Structure 1
Amino acid sequence: METKSSIIFVTGGVRSGKSSFAESLAIEYARKEKADLHYIATAVNTDTEMQERITRHQQIRKTQKVKWNSHEQAVDIGELAGVFSEKDVILLDCLTVLVNNELFLKDQRQEMIEVKLKKDLVELSRSCRYLILVSNEVTYEPSTDPFVQNYSRILNRLHYFLVQHAKEAYLVELGIAQRKKGGEE
């Protein structure tokens, strides 16, 4: 995956502080590059808890002293590639939800989702300066459910693919980000 952009991968457990860290990183890179900030939200309002999480994330972004250009895209994220310029900083939150959406909303064959998402993520990464991807580590609690196991395998292969091609990769635990790959140019 040779692109002009740089992928930055941020992962960790649920509610570990990944999104806050990724937002700070996106703001830092946008200021450094004098670039526009874009937020791709993949969450779908499915219940009260999800609505509260979506609202909380929106409110946090409104309090930041930067302008976020928001894009709600639950599936088919590659369609957004034409929206961005080579100077933009994009934050996609989150890959875990995106995989879930592709499985359930699109009702695709599971083996095709990984291929499709890799293609979509490559397209996005080529359309901007920085693509910051947030994802959850879902294998901390193993499952015996075959569907959950397959979901975890898809997500783990995507994580591996992204880290291999990332400029930087971070693991966030308890609000503490640990750099696992890359650094300042």
Structure 2
Amino acid sequence: MEANSSIIFVTGGVRSGKSSFAERLAIEYARKASAELHYIATAVNTDAEMQARIARHQRIRKTQKVKWNSHEQSVDIGELARVFSKKDVILLDCLTVLVNNELFLKEQQHEMIEIKLKKDLVKLSRSCQVLILVSNEVTYEPSTDPFVQKYCRILNRLHYFLVQHATDAYLVENGIVQRKKGGEE
């Protein structure tokens, strides 16, 4: 990854407050650097629950006193790299959904997904000043389903890769933020 870019990794349980924390962080970084704010939404409107979650996130961003440039990109996030500049702060929400989308929406070998996503994430990180990635911890409860196990392995390896390259990493549980890597703000 590029030394001039900062990667910030935010993870935690489902509905733990990760997205809200990541949004506040992105706004703070953008204000400090007078940068443009970009939001990459990876969710796909598949049912009523997801539709409500997407609408809720959109409403929250609209009430904030900042301008978000939104990009809906459920797969192939590396294609967006050309849109950004080194002055931009990007929030990608969320990696968990992105992995799911790459597994189910694209016709590709599962073995290639991890490699492709790493390349896409590197390309994205090189295109901006700060890249904030939100993901879920999904492996707290092991599964016996081979496909779920493969999904969890891909996600865990991506998490490991990203944390190794991140300047900061956070775990959010029940609204409580714990810095796991990085210095003082």
TM range (shorter): over 0.9
Correspondence for 1:174: 174
Runs of 4+ in 1 over 2 A off after TM superposition: none
Pairing 1:146–2:146 present: yes
* AA matched with 2:83: V
User: What is the RMSD of the two structures over their aligned residues, measured on CA atoms?
Assistant: 0.8
- The CA distance in 1 between the partners of 2:114 and 2:85, in whole Å, is 26
User: Is this contact kept in 1: 2:2–2:125, CA < 8 A?
Assistant: no
- The CA distance in 1 between the partners of 2:92 and 2:141, in whole Å, is 24
Unmatched runs of 5 consecutive residues or more in structure 2? none
Correspondence for 1:13: 13
Count residues with an aligned counterpart. Answer: 185
What is the 5 A alignment of 1:128-147?
128-147=128-147
- The CA distance in 2 between the partners of 1:183 and 1:57, in whole Å, is 29
> What SS does the aligned partner of 1:152 have?
helix
Displacement after TM superposition at 1:163 (Å)? 0.1
> What SS does the aligned partner of 2:132 have?
strand
User: Is this contact kept in 1: 2:84–2:127, CA < 8 A?
Assistant: yes
* AA matched with 1:129: Q
TM-score where L is the length of structure 1: 0.98
TM-score where L is the length of structure 2: 0.98
Correspondence for 1:88: 88
Unmatched runs of 5 consecutive residues or more in structure 1? none
Correspondence for 1:33: 33
- The CA distance in 2 between the partners of 1:157 and 1:112, in whole Å, is 13
* AA matched with 1:91: L
* Percentage of pairs with the same residue: 86
